[in-house]
């Protein structure tokens, strides 16, 4: 179960107190008191747009893979420091999953990216099957729990890509 409240300790000081916090909280986008997952996904979209200027598609793929591994570490540490197994303020899972979606649908128009954003937020927030199944697999603290924070968002990304592929084929 994702915690919907932000603990009192969650502030700029916490964000900057450890590199894992800065990463896991999406450079502060996870501090949003209103829909931190959506704020993190919007931040991911903006950063992806900037990164596309400098990185080739291959470099972007390598960055996403490395960000997944680094994010696993950061999410694990930050959840432990917060004392919450899957806090809503951790948004790095949304960041890497949405980067993956954008990377795989590119090239597309702004409207294609917006459609991807809406679909991804639906799958991530509503957690229909199989996202709900993925969300229940890895619970708790430690490396298993850190992977669990990320895994359901990767499944939401897969569902987003599947719907977009079906839509494009029609």
pLDDT band for position 7 (cuts 50, 70, 90): low
For the chain, the straight-line distance linking the first and the last C-alpha, in angstroms and rounded, comes to 36
Distance separating alpha carbons of residues 138 and 133, to the nearest angstrom: 10
Can you tell me the distance from the alpha carbon of 1 to that of 106, in angstroms, rounded to the nearest whole number? 33
> Is 0.95 surpassed by the pTM of this model?
no
3-state secondary structure of 6: coil
How many C-beta neighbours within 10 Å does residue 28 have? 17
Q: Please tell me which residue, 9 or 84, carries the higher pLDDT value.
A: 84
Measured in whole angstroms, the distance separating CA 42 from the mean position of its chain's CA atoms is 10
Please report the pLDDT score of residue 86 as a whole number.
92
pLDDT, position 9: 75
Domain residue limits, the chain = 12-169
pLDDT at 121: 98
Task: Give whole-number Cα distances, 64 to 94, 108, 117, 141, in Å.
Answer: 12, 19, 17, 24
Residue range 40-85, pLDDT digits in tens: 999 999 999 999 999 999 999 999 999 999 999 999 999 999 999 9
Map tokens 């603990």 to a residue: 7
Residues 37 and 56: their CA atoms lie apart, in Å, by 27
């Amino acid at each position: 179960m994702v915690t919907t409240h932000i603990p009192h300790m969650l502030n700029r000081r916490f964000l900057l107190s450890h590199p894992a916090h800065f990463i896991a909280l999406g450079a502060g986008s996870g501090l949003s008191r209103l829909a931190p997952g959506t704020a993190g996904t919007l931040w991911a979209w903006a950063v992806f747009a900037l990164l596309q200027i400098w990185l080739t598609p291959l470099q972007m793929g390598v960055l996403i893979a490395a960000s997944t591994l680094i994010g696993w570490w950061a999410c694990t540490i930050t959840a432990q420091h917060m004392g919450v197994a899957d806090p809503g303020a951790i948004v790095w899972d949304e960041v890497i999953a949405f980067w993956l979606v954008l990377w795989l649908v590119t090239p597309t128009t702004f409207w294609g990216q917006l459609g991807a954003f809406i679909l991804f937020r639906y799958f991530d927030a509503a957690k229909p099957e199989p996202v709900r199944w993925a969300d229940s697999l890895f619970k708790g603290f430690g490396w298993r729990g850190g992977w669990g924070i990320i895994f359901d968002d990767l499944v939401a990304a897969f569902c987003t890509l599947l719907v977009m592929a079906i839509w494009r084929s029609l």
